Amino acid sequence: MSDWWRGAVVYQIYPRSFQDDSGDGIGDLPGITRRLPHIADLGADAIWLSPIFTSPMADMGYDVSNYTDIDPLFGTLADFDALVARAHDLGLKVIIDQVLSHTSDRHPWFTESRADKTNPRADWYVWADPNPDGTPPNNWLSVFGGPAWEWDTRRRQFYLHNFLSAQPDLNFHQPAVQDALLETMRFWLERGVDGFRLDTVNFYFHDAALRSNPPWPQPDGRPAVNPYEMQTHLHSKTQPENIGFLQRMRALLDRYDARAMVGEVGESQRALQVMEEYTRGEDRLHMAYSFEMLGPDFTPAHFRRQIDGFFTDAPDGWPWWSFSNHDVQRHVTRWADHGKDADSLAKLAIALLIGFEGTIGLYQGEELGQTETDLLYEELTDPPGLKFWPENKGRDGCRTPMVWETGRPNAGFTTGTPWLPVKPPQAARAVDVQAADAGSVLHAYRAALAFRKAEPLLRRGRTRFLDLPEPILGFTRHDRQAALTCLYNLSPHPVSLVVAGEWKQVGPSAGVTATGTGLKLGPNGYGFFASSVDSVPRVTG
């Protein structure tokens, strides 16, 4: 099926932390391959692998020094081929990360580019002369703190880096750069990958005139923890030229059967609009996701605004919704104030996701209700955490190893010393413990994903929101014949609903009690109710 991605469930694997079979404390491809049945049994349709390419690991693989080989930490190309074959045997598609906006400063392209101003790759990166007073050419800032410009003594120019100084930005205004990157994508398509997750997809092009960004006023008038949020990034990213390169990538994928791209929109100020623009029509991204559901907001109004807003402005586009990934605090911890307890909140979260129109992403460990790991400063490896501690503790807390067997050293992740510690609160949520408990979060995920797979309306039906009071979220998923009403209590307190009409409760539920006038939803309760499209139950708060 060429549009397998539409409504699919994609499980993100963070390779360093999934399974270490070599004993060096870092996860690897053979370990992932061995654990793939866990993901297939969960009910996922595809896996997304965070970067596994050759890298100095300044940013844990998001600084690539060779786009067409596997870093020895993770294995070999033969190991990768074996992983793809095993995944396909299990019915799982394989999506790999593509970090195209920048390379490592140890990539041979950059080594050549920085040598002088006349070599064949001199303009493959973004170089600029200093101002007469020696300052950078403009006010652009790095996401990871400080100026986005680094002085290079060889060329006596600044180079642009939107992230670490070890991650110089490629110059997409140079057609040869685009051609070279498309060839690296072709390499992996020929090896059988089913698609790409495109890191920072809106960072490819920069304003060629290097105009400074205007300020972004802070709500409370105080400086942000990270000054990057104090600018409106009008010129440093999300440029109109981006669309043309998306179209070139789409044209490449369309030469192969059933391949797909999802773009990560790194935009905090107009993310929904960029998602819509980048997935509109049939010649851009297949899907896009942003950080809009990866933040602290946990209200019916917020979720409605994201989903309704997207499909109103881009009815032929397609979103990908996730609650957690390798860059943000785990959602069970992030939304703890809204939960009766961690398990109830985790079960509510997957019930929400399976109801959302779009493709959904799961991050390794969330099927266990995994919580954020509390790390000491000396245990950190992540550059933002090291720079902005303690107000921003970085991303290591969500990247600690997957836990498989609670009684084994490091919960079965490795026989060596893990690159990040496995702590008791995380080990207590191991797969083996939850597999033996029918009431566990793991079993709730399996049931929810099985229901989504069996119910066409949840994968392809359209959405109509119900006007209900906080903290109740309600909507229908429907086609021309049938409707499914999805109701959720986004609070740790019981709520009552008045429900009139013909309906039948179906699928997984939690805390649903029929009353004389309708329903009561317990703390973090949820339920699904089937009806014909002509007799959708009337629900009021």
pLDDT for the residue 355: 98
The residue behind tokens 């994201």 is: 306
Beta strands 9-13 and 359-363, pairing class: parallel
Q: Give the C-alpha separation, 514 to 141, whole Å.
A: 55
Question: Is there a contact between 45 and 26 (Cβ–Cβ < 8 Å)?
Answer: no
pLDDT for the residue 459: 94
Question: Is there a contact between 502 and 531 (Cβ–Cβ < 8 Å)?
Answer: yes
pLDDT for the residue 34: 98
Q: Give the C-alpha separation, 425 to 433, whole Å.
A: 13
Greater confidence (285 vs 515) lies with: 285
Q: Cα dist. 84→96, 97, 334, 348, 409 in Å?
A: 11, 14, 33, 32, 29
Q: Give the C-alpha separation, 366 to 334, whole Å.
A: 13
pLDDT for the residue 225: 87
pLDDT for the residue 202: 97
Residue 247 has pLDDT above 90, yes or no: yes
The string of DSSP letters for 233-298 reads -TTTS--TTHHHHHHHHHHHHTTSTT-EEEEE---SSSHHHHHHHHHSSSSS-SEEE-STTSSS--
pLDDT for the residue 391: 79
pLDDT for the residue 190: 98
pLDDT for the residue 281: 93
pTM as predicted: 0.96
422-432 pLDDT, tens per residue?
999 999 999 99
- For the chain, the residue count is 541
Residue 73 has pLDDT above 90, yes or no: yes
pLDDT for the residue 129: 98
Q: Which domains does the chain have, with CATH numbers?
A: 9-104+172-452 (3.20.20.80), 460-540 (2.60.40.1180)
Beta strands 518-532 and 504-514, pairing class: antiparallel
Backbone CA torsion sign across 320, 183, 160, 52? positive
The string of DSSP letters for 396-439 reads GGGTSPP---TTSGGGGS-SS--SS---HHHHTT-HHHHHT-TT
pLDDT for the residue 392: 81
Across the range 69-95, mean pLDDT stands at 98
Q: Give the C-alpha separation, 141 to 122, whole Å.
A: 23
Question: Is there a contact between 205 and 239 (Cβ–Cβ < 8 Å)?
Answer: yes
Catalytically active residues, by annotation: 199, 264
Greater confidence (78 vs 290) lies with: 78
Question: Is there a contact between 256 and 232 (Cβ–Cβ < 8 Å)?
Answer: no
CA Rg value for the chain: 24
346-378 pLDDT, tens per residue?
999 999 999 999 999 999 999 999 999 999 999
| End-to-end CA, the chain | 41
Reduced to 3 states (helix: H, G, I; strand: E, B; else coil), residue 174 is coil
Residue 307 has pLDDT above 90, yes or no: yes
539 falls in which pLDDT band (50, 70, 90)?
confident
Across the range 182-201, mean pLDDT stands at 98
What is the CB neighbour count within 10 angstroms for residue 467?
9
Q: Give the C-alpha separation, 439 to 432, whole Å.
A: 13
pLDDT for the residue 390: 85
pLDDT for the residue 368: 98
Across the range 384-388, mean pLDDT stands at 81
pLDDT for the residue 533: 87
pLDDT for the residue 183: 98
pLDDT for the residue 219: 84
pLDDT for the residue 386: 83
139 falls in which pLDDT band (50, 70, 90)?
very high
- Residue 91, sorted as left (phi over 0), alpha (psi -120 to 50) or beta, turns out to be left
Across the range 58-68, mean pLDDT stands at 97
Across the range 45-63, mean pLDDT stands at 97
Residue 383 has pLDDT above 90, yes or no: no
Share of residues in the chain with pLDDT > 90 (%)? 89
Query: Which residues make Cβ contacts (< 8 Å) with residue 134, sequence separation at least 6?
Result: none
Backbone CA torsion sign across 370, 376, 380, 385? positive
State both tokens at 367.
């099927």
pLDDT for the residue 443: 98
Q: Give the C-alpha separation, 322 to 361, whole Å.
A: 5
pLDDT for the residue 74: 98
Residue 222 has pLDDT above 90, yes or no: no
Q: Give the C-alpha separation, 436 to 407, whole Å.
A: 14
pLDDT for the residue 439: 98
pLDDT for the residue 536: 87
Distance of CA 419 to the CA centre of its chain: 22
Cis peptide before 390 (omega within 30 of 0): yes
Across the range 301-326, mean pLDDT stands at 94
Mean pLDDT of the chain: 96
